[in-house]
Chain A
């Protein structure tokens, strides 16, 4: 199929999809409607379990099993990326060179590092109260470590980032979520049921039953997963060099001289 014909097929498909979507849009409940039966019930249930952040209650209480699936997708994707971005046979490992960093950048990043780390942990810990939670806080905390790469260089980052430990942390976060789920079973109710802990006082750190625990498990997994993911991509950029490409260049030069 040539490019022109392909374009026509594409336009036909897009026009058809657009027509269907527009037709569907006019049959949906009007934007801003006051009728939200699921939302009202979710808010009611969240308040009954003393969870101020109802979004966290939906994710880690009412739909906790779906979040397990989501977390497993993350785990599997990290595993896939680690396998895809490993050092291949025709590649070699080069030591990253020390780099010069402008003094203001260095100061700014080093000041921001602890602030970002604490902010990340805060967001994880307050997931049941304010917007945020394990997913968001985990990413912020993982970003904090990488400020060291901006402030100093890749060797400094590698020193504070024992990758094996973070891989174990990723798995431990996933396992902790599963174990908290089993605890619900052992307590006599169902898997991941929010019944094993007292629900606490509304709008305090210890409220929400298992929600803060699941948030912490997710936070750990996400932080470790992001560190491992970025490490694999950074290795590709900084440390791993294709030997084939270099050899090709050298041979070419040899022929020319």
Chain B
């Protein structure tokens, strides 16, 4: 069970985020749910790269080869993921501000009409 548990946790976090996104009644809440979905990818990436007994792949305080290290490639991907997630969140929140100004509501269900 332990062999797949982290992957299942990632799947669960993703699905919870999707559920929140689909049932959200507030756009700021929806942006938060998107961040939850994205958090699932961090869990998945780091789970894929883990090596039993491995330490961080940074050789500042031990000689290379002395200890097993986890996969640095997925850690770099997780960093990319975090940066992209933060920028997308900022852009979406900017859009939410504009929606709130023009339509005076944050409920996505009330945003059915077009307005200039």
Contacts and interface: CB of A to CB of B under 8 A. Distances in A.
A88 to B, nearest CB: 8
A47 interface: yes
Given A14-B18, A28-B4, A55 B94 contact: no
Contact of A80 (B57, B82, B94): B94
A84 interface: yes
B23 A10 contact: yes
A62 B56 CA distance: 18
Contacts of A54: 57-59, 69, 72
A93 B58 CA distance: 49
Contact of B4 (A14, A25, A34): A25
Contact of A203 (B48, B60, B69): B60
A145 interface: no
A195 interface: no
Contacts of A88: 101
A176 interface: no
Contacts of A78: 87, 90
B91 A77 contact: yes
A43 B58 contact: no
A232 B94 contact: yes
Interface string B71-107: 1111110011011100110110111011001000000
Q: How large is the interface on A (under 10, 10 to 19, 20 to 34, 35 or more residues)?
A: 35 or more
A73 B84 CA distance: 7
Nearest to A131: B58
Nearest to B96: A84
A57 B73 CA distance: 10
B24 to A, nearest CB: 12
Given A54-B57, A55-B79, A43 B52 contact: no
Nearest to B58: A53
Interface in A46-60: 46-47, 52-55, 57-59
Contacts of B69: 39, 43, 54
Q: How large is the interface on B (under 10, 10 to 19, 20 to 34, 35 or more residues)?
A: 35 or more
Contact of B80 (A6, A26, A52, A70): A70
Interface string A141-154: 00000000000000
B40 to A, nearest CB: 10
Contacts of A29: 48
A57 B72 contact: yes
A34 B94 contact: no
Given A28-B4, A32-B50, A74 B83 contact: yes
B73 A39 contact: yes
Contact of B79 (A39, A59, A84, A129): A59
B51 to A, nearest CB: 6
Contact of B91 (A10, A53, A80): A80
Contact of B68 (A24, A34, A67): A34
B111 interface: no
Interface in B11-62: 11, 14-15, 18-19, 22-23, 47-52, 56-60
Interface of B: 2-8, 11, 14-15, 18-19, 22-23, 47-52, 56-60, 64, 68-76, 79-80, 82-84, 87-88, 90-91, 93-95, 97-98, 101
21 contacts: A18-B15, A21-B8, A24-B7, A31-B47, A32-B3, A32-B50, A39-B57, A39-B69, A39-B72, A53-B58, A53-B60, A54-B57, A70-B83, A70-B84, A78-B87, A84-B91, A85-B97, A85-B98, A130-B60, A135-B83, A232-B94
